[in-house]
Every structure is written in C-alpha cells, then in structure tokens.
Amino acid sequence: MRVCGATACFAAQAGRHLPAIEGVLGVTADDDRDPDPEVSLQTVRCLGYCYGGPAALDGETPCAGPDVVDQVAGRVRPQAPPIPAADATGDPVVLAGIAAGEPPWRTWADTVGRRTPELVQQEVAASGLRGRGGAGFPVAAKWAAAGGSPDTVVIANADEGDPGSYADRLLMEVDPARVLEGLALACFACGARRGLVLVRSEYPQALAQMREAVERARADGHLGRRVHGSGVDLDVEVVAGAGSYVAGEETALIAGLEGGRGCARARPPYPTSSGLWGVPTVVNNVETLAAVPWIVSRGGAAYVRRGTPGETGTKLVCLSERFTHPGCYEVELGTPVRRIVTELGGGLRNGAELGVLQVGGPLGGFLSEQVLDVPLTETELAGHGAALGHAGLVAIDDRIEPLEVLRHVWAFAAAESCGACSPCRVGSRRGLELARTGEPPGDAYARMLRVMSEASLCAFGRRLPPAVRSLVRAYEDRLRGWGG
Ligand SMILES: Cc1cc2nc3c(=O)[nH]c(=O)nc-3n(C[C@H](O)[C@H](O)[C@H](O)COP(=O)(O)O)c2cc1C
Ligand code: SF4
Ligand code: FES
C-alpha cells in the first residue's frame, strides 16, 4: 500500500489520514523490519489525485477521497474520480484533443517526409515555447544544442514529481497519442531515431496507456521504419521510473535510466552534449511536448499571440482538493492568479479562508491572499519569491497552523533530498529537526539556508530556502525568524 503524504493530501485533512491508515492496517509506514509482511505501507509524495485526495494506491488500485481510510480498510469500495479538465482559453493548445476533440497524429503525418527538421525547429523557435517542466528553458535552443546527430535520444520526462500537479497524468491517460506525436516531432527536429518516455511508477494507469498508445502508433505506421513512406526511422520505448522526487531532474533521470541511483550530477556536461550512455540527449516535459503538434500545424506566430509578449502561450494549471472546483485548466500565461483561484476554482470549499497558496510545487513558493492579483508568469511570480514550476496550485486553508506547514515543507525536503551533496543532505534534515522543536531559530539556521541556496548541487537544494522564505513572507509575522 502506498499512501500519499504530499502537500495537497496533507492540506485535505491536515495530514491525519496517514496515522489513521496505519491504525486500520495495523502497520507502521516505511517500516521494513519484517522481510515478508502481509501488508506493507510506504509513504509516497503525490499520486496525481491532488484534486480529490487524500490518496493511496492499493497495489495498482487507486483509493482517493475524504473516506480514503474506509476505502483502504475495505469498509467501502475503492474509488478514484477522473481528473476534471477544462479549457479556459477558447482555443486549447495542450488540451486540443481533450477539450476540443482534435484528433492526434495529423501534424506528424503532414510533417514527416514533407517538411524539414529545420522548419520544425524554426516554428518552435518562433513560438517562444519554453519548457513546462519547471526550468523554463527555450525548447528550440535545447533541440539545437543537441547538434542533429542521429545518435540523439529524446526523452519525454513523465516523472511529474511536483505534489499538486497532475497535468502530465491527465495528458498521458486521456490523450497519450498527442504526447507521442509531440515526442515524434521533437525527435524529427533533432534528427533522433529513438525516443523514450519515462513514466513515474506511481502512475500505473498512465504507464499502461502510454504503452498501448505506442503499440497503436506502430500498428498505424506513425512509428517504425520508413514512417509514412519517408526516409525517417523512429521508435519509442516506454520505461517505468523508480520513484523519488529528484529522479525527475534530468541528470538524475538519465542516471536512473542507466540503472544507477536517481541522483543529480554536476553540469556541464549538459545532457545535450553527453546524456544517456554518453550520447546527445534532449529531455522535455510531457506538457511541453503536447504543445508541439499545435505549434507546428498552426505556426509559431499563432502561438506568440497567446500569453504575454515575454512569456508566450498557454499553461495547464492544476487546482487542489481544497478548491470548490478542483481540476486541470488550460489558461493563457499572464492570467491573474486571483482569476484562476476564484473564477475557475470557485474559491475554497465550504467558505474556508485561504491560509497560503503554494504555486509551482516544493521548489516554487507560497503566496498570501493579498498578492493573488499577480499574473501567472515566471517573471511576475519571481517578484513575489515564488516560481511557476509545473503550475500546481495547492490551497492551504487557515485551519492548518503555519508551523505545521513549515514542518511539512522541511519534512518533504528531508525525505526527498537525494543525498548526493552535503548542503542539501545535511541542511534538509537540520531544517526538519529545528522546525520540529518549534523554537525560533538563530544565526546558524540563517547561515544554513544561505549555504543550501548557494552551494547545493541541483535546483532542489538551491530552491528550498527561497521556498521557505516565501512561506514565511506569506504568513507575515506568524513565522517570524524562520526565513533566515
Ligand atoms: C528536483 C527536480 C525535480 C524535477 N522533476 C521534474 C519532473 O518531475 N518532470 C519534469 O518534466 N521536469 C522535472 N524537473 C526539470 C528537469 O530537470 C528538466 O528541466 C525538464 O524535464 C526539461 O523539460 P522541459 O524543458 O520541457 O521543461 C525537475 C528538476 C529538479 C531540479
Ligand atoms: S541539492 Fe539535494 S537533491 Fe540536488 S543533488 Fe544535492 S542532495 Fe541531491
Ligand atoms: S495525490 Fe497527494 S499531493 Fe498529489
């Protein structure tokens, strides 16, 4: 049994579901002393049911909802509602299939053998599309950096580790062919003959859908040798991830695919010059790839008209269970966060007051009610110490004490730090120890935050201190001293 202890599920019942599940199963979570238990319980951080949690996975059967404890105990039938999804732009890009019924693979069939890889790269460059996995790197520049070698591998990053985000799960389970079409176009633009999809093991249904979609694509001639009568050979393999948050960071993801531990490594070399087994490797997020068919068929100029001049296009946002209308919505970049929260989300359920809003997952940040007019862009959110990330919006209502939220943030950090570098390995555990005492921290804590943000190997350790500071700012004087 895997039970989610991540932010949206924590916010649903202030974390009470986990001890209750331990109670009904009669086991302690993450206790591996019994080598052959009848039931074992593992805490995981996000199962992609953040809109209807708390959530658990019994084998491969999802259980989600306010009565998750009864479901797990077998007192009521397991249930997991489908992801509510809607377009709020009037002309969906990423949800073109799901919200507008546009069939997949048309752009691929029109492109392969008729257009050149350079043309595809040019359209994507003209669109201004940036990676949607969190780092926001320009997509066409990454493709160009791989250099066009036929050894290039393009990896669809479907690790979706950010608690609060389930956009990639939606795309893979409901419109997997569009993700594959985007991957095929990316491979074509990079001159690659091989694509990989790394799906996190916490998403068994998505894994099955992606595998089935690859089989169908092969049977329909979208993949294979001499695709659609062209000179292009392309095959795609779907691989299950091994769990953990950091395993979604691109160098950690590559290490995992090579059979090693999912730990990040120093860059350079960047994966585009030396990635999987030393060959040029392009890693793109699932949502990034799902935007590519629209851009190639409508043209980069059409995409530039969406969003803001500095940050073009649309973005999927995921609203957590505390909202009246939780779900995955496609919005234009630049939409005020308040509009998303009130008009799409309908505010908080049962008239609850917002404590803080987490935007962009554990490496993003927290906003208070007062600053929700901020437009949803990387630049504007950065001005408030937050980040766009994968655009999960997790509402934490005012029933939960600020110190509990702080402890939750440090507990996530301590559990998910991969341990490859000392500032983050030691700092995340020390942060949790201090937060557990609840005593106002001193200068050593402030120094520790500085060392973490300056000396950590990857963005996990570097982004945690700003995320903590944004939480402290959002709660104003209720967490004084904890920002370092
Ligand atoms: C700790 C950490 C975890 C990450 N997890 C994910 C993830 O789950 N999915 C993802 O697409 N990108 C993740 N990323 C970002 C990837 O390293 C990489 O930038 C991204 O997959 C590139 O795709 P994009 O350019 O299309 O966004 C993570 C980064 C860090 C630092
Ligand atoms: S910063 Fe943290 S997650 Fe990143 S390499 Fe160091 S220990 Fe691992
Ligand atoms: S399912 Fe629990 S936070 Fe996503």
- Distance, CA 445 to ligand 2 centroid (Å)? 19
Pocket of ligand 2 (CB under 6 A): 246, 263-264, 417-421, 424-425, 456-458, 460-461
Nearest residue (CA) to ligand 1, atom 14: 249
Share of the chain above pLDDT 70, in %: 100
pLDDT at residue 412, rounded to an integer: 97
Interval between CA 176 and ligand 2 midpoint (Å): 31
Average pLDDT over residues 427-432: 97
CA distance 407 to 385: 19
pLDDT confidence band for 6 (50 / 70 / 90): very high
Which one-letter DSSP state was computed for residue 277?
G
Which of 202, 285, 288 to probe ligand 1 with, by most ligand atoms within 8 A of CB?
285
The answer to whether the 85-304 and 402-479 domains have the same CATH topology is: no
Structure token pair of residue 110: 């029109």
Residue matched to tokens 């996190």: 200
Q: What are the start-end ranges of the H helices in 139-226?
A: 139-145, 167-174, 176-190, 204-219
| pLDDT tens string 285-307 | 999 999 999 999 999 999 999 99
Q: 306 or 34: whose pLDDT is higher?
A: 306
Give the mutation target among 249, 263, 388 for probing the ligand 1 site: most ligand atoms within 8 A of CB.
249
pLDDT of residue 35: 78
Quick one: pLDDT band at residue 401, thresholds 50, 70, 90? very high
Q: Which atom of ligand 2 is nearest to the CA of 452?
A: 1
Assigned fold of 314-397:
Ubiquitin-like (UB roll) (3.10.20)
Residue 257 in this model has a pLDDT that exceeds 90: yes
Could you tell me the distance, in angstroms and rounded to a whole number, from the CA of residue 71 to the centre of ligand 2?
36
Does ligand 1 have an atom closer than 6 angstroms to the CB of 135?
yes
Q: Scanning the structure block, which residue is given the tokens 């019924």?
A: 101
Query: What's the CA-to-centroid distance between 89 and ligand 3, angstroms?
Result: 26
pTM as predicted: 0.97
d(CA 209, CA 168): 12
C-beta of residue 25 within 8 angstroms of C-beta of residue 68: no
Ligand nearest to the CA of 203: 3
The confidence score (pLDDT) of residue 37 equals 81
Specify the pLDDT at position 243: 80
The percentage of the chain sitting over the pLDDT mark of 90, rounded to a whole number, equals: 94
pLDDT in tens, 121-132: 999 999 999 999
Is residue 441 reached through a cis peptide bond, with omega within 30 degrees of 0 on the bond before it?
no
Residue of 196, 152, 175, 183 lying closest to 85 (CA atoms): 175
> What is the DSSP track for 83-105?
PPEEESSSS-STTHHHHH---SS
Which of 24-33, 189-198, 314-323, 453-462 bottoms out in mean pLDDT, i.e. has the lowest?
24-33
Cis peptide before 268 (omega within 30 of 0): yes
Q: In angstroms, what is the span from residue 453 Cα to ligand 2's centroid?
A: 11
Do the Cβ atoms of 151 and 282 come closer than 8 Å?
Answer: no
Report pLDDT for 344: 98
Query: What pLDDT, on a 0 to 100 scale, did the predictor assign at position 440?
Result: 79
CA 293 vs. chain centroid, Å, equals: 21
Question: Residue 374 pLDDT > 90, yes or no?
Answer: yes
Please count the other Cβ atoms lying within 10 Å of the Cβ belonging to residue 459. Answer: 15
Please choose from 46, 205, 405 the residue to mutate so as to test ligand 3's pocket, defined by most ligand atoms within 8 A of CB. Answer: 46
> What average pLDDT score do residues 58-62 get?
94
What is the fold, at CATH topology level, of the domain defined by 402-479? Answer: de novo design (two linked rop proteins) (1.20.1440)
- Rounded-to-integer distance, Cα 63 and Cα 4, Å: 10
Query: What ranges do the domains of the chain cover?
Result: 2-73, 85-304, 314-397, 402-479
Distance CA 12, CA 225 (A): 49
Residue nearest to atom 24 of ligand 1 (CA): 131
Nearest atom, ligand 2, residue 246 CA: 3
Is residue 414 lining ligand 1, measured as CB closer than 6 Å? no
For residue 437 the two structure tokens come to 């005492």
pLDDT in tens, 164-197: 999 999 999 999 999 999 999 999 999 999 999 9
Dist. CA 232 → ligand 2 center (Å): 39
Kindly state if the Cβ of 47 falls inside 6 Å of ligand 1. Answer: no
Position 113 scores a pLDDT of: 84
Buried-state track 182-221, b at ≥16 Cβ within 10 A, e below 16: bbbbbbbbbbbbbbbbbbbbbbbebbbbbbebbeebeeee
User: Which fold would CATH assign to domain 85-304?
Assistant: Rossmann fold (3.40.50)
Q: Is the pLDDT of residue 36 over 90?
A: no
